[in-house]
């Protein structure tokens, strides 16, 4: 049961990370990095929920899945805000000579 619950958190993080990487279009940003951050943030948020609530990890605990999704969204937002400071917004020009 423990492994199935954690796999649910990872699945929610993957789904939210994928959607967020499609919604937020940063040129030059690695979409796999955003998805990875969402998975990690989802696991951390759901783990914190489990520690705070005292509810065990189970496959069908809807509250832990919702907290995983919320954590993944917050993780994606923070990731893209931090990355937007370092990703160039300039137009990319083609090389004229070789």
Q: Is residue 17 one of the residues assigned to a domain?
A: yes
Residue 55 lies in a domain: yes
**Mean pLDDT, rounded, for 83-90:** 68
**pTM for the full predicted model:** 0.71
| Each residue's pLDDT tens digit, 16-74 | 777 776 776 555 567 777 788 888 888 888 888 888 887 776 667 788 778 888 888 88
Residue 15 inside a domain? The answer is yes
List for the chain the helix, strand, coil content (%; round to 5): 70, 0, 30
pLDDT at 38: 82
**What range does the domain containing 16 cover?**
2-22+30-84
Cβ 16 vs Cβ 79: under 8 Å: no
- The structural domain count of the chain equals 1
């Amino acid at each position: 049961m423990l492994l199935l619950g954690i796999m649910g958190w990872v699945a929610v993080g993957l789904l939210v990370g994928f959607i967020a990487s499609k919604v937020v279009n940063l040129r030059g940003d690695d979409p796999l990095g955003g998805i990875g951050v969402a998975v990690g943030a989802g696991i951390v948020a759901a783990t914190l929920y489990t520690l705070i609530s005292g509810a065990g990890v189970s496959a069908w605990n809807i509250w832990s899945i919702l907290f995983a999704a919320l954590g993944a969204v917050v993780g994606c937002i923070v990731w893209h805000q931090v990355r937007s400071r370092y990703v160039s917004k300039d137009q990319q020009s083609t090389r004229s000579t070789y």
